[in-house]
């Protein structure tokens, strides 16, 4: 492979991109736009659950329990209801998502056995949010029960019995349990996959459509040199997109970067070679810019979004789908980036994923090169 000829092709492609504001704008603006949209709109945090309360007891004990809900950052009391019809209407109108119903004999039954019941109604149409909100409500009720028992024991002069089990939790790597710290590193992987394939999906197809491929074929430049020369400018653009995404994640969303920046760059570069080569392969096969773009979007975005572990945990998927995720390269970059960002681990842990990304890049680049040679024959 002649470096001079490769650079000549790279210069030609760079000039084309520079003179085409649409391609350049897509390359630079879409990653930033996706970071803004997904970073702000896509969140797994459940805070300020809209809540209705119906206090039939009206006693200091019931008001204290309700104050626990009002003082929690997880609930937002929106309605003081006077009956089930009002609660049902509020849930149907999506004014509230949950309701606490305290019975009239709540205070009297606090010392009774079984303990006093408190009803917690939930809108289950959003099962994930409802499950999390139910856990929050159980935590509030458990805290109230423990403190109420200790207070009553102290008032009666009877020593309070210690709970048989005390759970002391400590969260590692994402201490505040903020979903943005989990989402942003995975989002970088999705952006890299989509942008890489889109950038190069137009290159070879454009040459065929504009009738300039024959001129390239007639030159001494080999197929491998054409592929390499066309990849170089888009590889540089892809690394710029990576830098933009990392800066936005760091300074706009305040996502910690605890690991090695060099490992982050190396992992992304290996992945970028595979993504660019995949787009190039689509362009070679399709010979149509429209078809190549559609292929790139369909084959890269959906698997990267759904099957990489970016949003949906792979361990919760059906077993056949879990097996299928092993052929999705974005899965390995998501794992790498989260390990680097959140855990600060290095090659001693992530060497396997990095090796798979390198193999993916080499395999797709080889396939694109072989397929392009067949087109030249």
CATH 3.40.1710.10: which residues of the chain? 49-156
pLDDT in tens, the chain (377 residues): 778 888 888 888 888 778 777 777 777 888 888 888 887 877 777 788 999 999 998 888 889 889 999 888 889 999 888 899 999 999 998 899 999 999 888 888 876 666 778 899 999 887 878 888 888 898 888 888 878 777 776 766 666 555 555 667 787 888 877 888 888 998 898 888 888 888 788 777 777 777 677 677 677 788 788 888 888 988 998 899 999 999 999 998 888 899 999 999 999 999 999 988 888 888 888 877 778 878 888 888 888 888 898 888 888 889 999 999 999 999 999 999 999 998 988 888 899 999 999 999 999 988 888 887 644 44
Edge to edge, what strands does the sheet with 98-102 contain? 75-80, 49-55, 98-102, 119-122
- Cα separation, 259 vs 238, in Å, equals 21
Per-residue buried b or exposed e for 188-219, using 16+ beta carbons within 10 Å of the residue's own CB: bbbbbbbbbbbbbbbbbbbbbeeeebeebeee
CATH architecture, range 49-156? 3-Layer(aba) Sandwich (3.40)
pTM: predicted TM-score of the whole model, two decimal places = 0.78
Strand partners, 121: 99
């Amino acid at each position: 492979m002649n470096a001079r000829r490769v650079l000549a092709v790279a210069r030609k492609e760079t000039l084309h991109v520079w003179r085409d504001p649409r391609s350049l704008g897509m390359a630079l603006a879409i990653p930033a736009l996706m970071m803004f949209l997904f970073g702000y709109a896509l969140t797994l945090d459940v805070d300020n659950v809209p809540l209705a309360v119906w206090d039939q007891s009206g006693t200091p004990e019931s008001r204290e329990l309700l104050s626990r809900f009002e003082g929690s950052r997880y609930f937002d009391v929106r309605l003081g209801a006077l009956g089930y019809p009002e609660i049902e209407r509020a849930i149907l109108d999506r004014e509230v998502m949950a309701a606490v119903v305290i019975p009239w004999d709540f205070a009297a039954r606090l010392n009774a056995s079984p303990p006093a019941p408190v009803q917690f109604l939930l809108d289950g149409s959003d099962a994930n949010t409802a499950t999390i909100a139910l856990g929050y409500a159980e935590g509030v009720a458990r805290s109230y029960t423990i403190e109420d028992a200790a207070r009553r024991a102290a008032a009666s002069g009877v020593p309070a019995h210690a709970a048989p089990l005390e759970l002391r939790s400590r969260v590692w790597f994402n201490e505040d349990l903020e979903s943005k710290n989990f989402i942003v590193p995975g989002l970088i992987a999705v952006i890299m996959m989509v942008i890489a394939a889109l950038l190069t999906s137009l290159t070879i197809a454009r040459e065929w459509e504009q009738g300039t491929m024959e001129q390239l074929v007639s030159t001494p430049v080999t197929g491998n040199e054409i592929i390499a020369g066309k990849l170089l400018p888009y590889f540089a653009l892809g690394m710029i997109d990576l830098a933009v995404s990392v800066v936005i994640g760091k300074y706009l969303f305040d996502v910690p970067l605890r690991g090695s920046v060099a490992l982050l760059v190396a992992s992304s570069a290996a992945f970028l070679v595979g993504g660019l080569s995949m787009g190039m392969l689509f362009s070679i096969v399709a010979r149509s810019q429209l078809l190549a773009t559609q292929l790139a979007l369909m084959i890269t975005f959906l698997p990267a979004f759904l099957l990489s572990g970016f949003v949906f945990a792979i361990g919760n998927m059906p077993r056949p789908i879990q097996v299928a995720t092993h052929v999705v390269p974005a899965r390995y970059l998501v794992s790498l980036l989260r390990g680097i960002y959140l855990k600060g681990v290095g090659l001693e842990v992530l060497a396997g994923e990095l090796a798979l990304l390198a193999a993916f890049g080499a395999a797709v680049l080889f396939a694109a090169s072989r397929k392009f040679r067949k087109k030249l024959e």
